[in-house]
Amino acid sequence: MTCGLPAELLIEILSPSLLVPDAMFADNGAVSPFSKVDRPASNALLVCKDWMRVVTPLLYYTVTLRSMAQANALEFALTNNPEFGKFIRRLRIEGSYGDIIWELVKAAPNVIDLCMTLSVRSDVSSAGLIRSLAYIKPRSVVLTLAPKKPIMNKNHKALLDALCCQISLWTRLVCTHLRLQIMA
């Protein structure tokens, strides 16, 4: 069964409800705008095959990682459907996720907008994220120390050192946002 509408029209109709607004993607407030989801955007995949074909690139355009479970699910999806990685243009990383993040970034060669927290936990290695910084060639970067009490540890220092070295090598970079909280 098909829905009968041309793909171009479906994209115009569905894009506004599926694409993450720039302000939301780059929100570097103390609470992630992705901490609550009203309804999963992936529901649009279930309507019919035409919608699934059109919606899949829109869903992968902006990827937000907030948990290890999400990172594992994305790795599974990209391993089974490598073409999905090419749809990822904006990547928001709220954590470090060990070595898995390196596998995800390698599978997403078209990332141009990066948003990430510099607050990483001491029990999860930041090595994969550090390695990823040399691979990504962003045009815009949003950095934040999101928690009310910033996490400072060995992984945080390693990530910050790597970022300081790498940022000058990002030749496409035209826009940077930084949010730091100074604790008294």
> What are the pLDDT digits (tens) for 1-39?
446 777 787 777 777 677 777 777 777 666 676 666 666
124-179: per-residue pLDDT in tens? 888 999 999 999 999 999 888 755 566 678 888 899 899 999 999 999 999 888 76
Q: Quick one: pLDDT at residue 96? A: 85
List, in sequence order, every residue forming a beta bridge with 117; answer none if it has no partner. 144
Q: Helix 49-61 and helix 7-18: axis angle, to 10°?
A: 50
Average pLDDT over residues 100-118: 93
Q: Quick one: pLDDT at residue 125? A: 86
Q: Which two tokens stand for residue 131?
A: 């390695």
55-108: per-residue pLDDT in tens? 788 889 999 998 899 999 999 999 999 999 999 999 999 888 889 999 999 999
Q: Quick one: pLDDT at residue 114? A: 94
Strands (E), the chain: 62-65, 90-93, 113-117, 140-144, 175-179
Q: Quick one: pLDDT at residue 184? A: 42
Q: Which amino acid is at 1?
A: M
Task: Count other C-beta atoms under 10 Å from residue 44's C-beta.
Answer: 20
The residue ranges of every structural domain in the chain are 7-179
Q: Quick one: pLDDT at residue 183? A: 47
Phi-psi region of 32 (alpha: psi -120 to 50; beta: other; left: phi over 0): beta
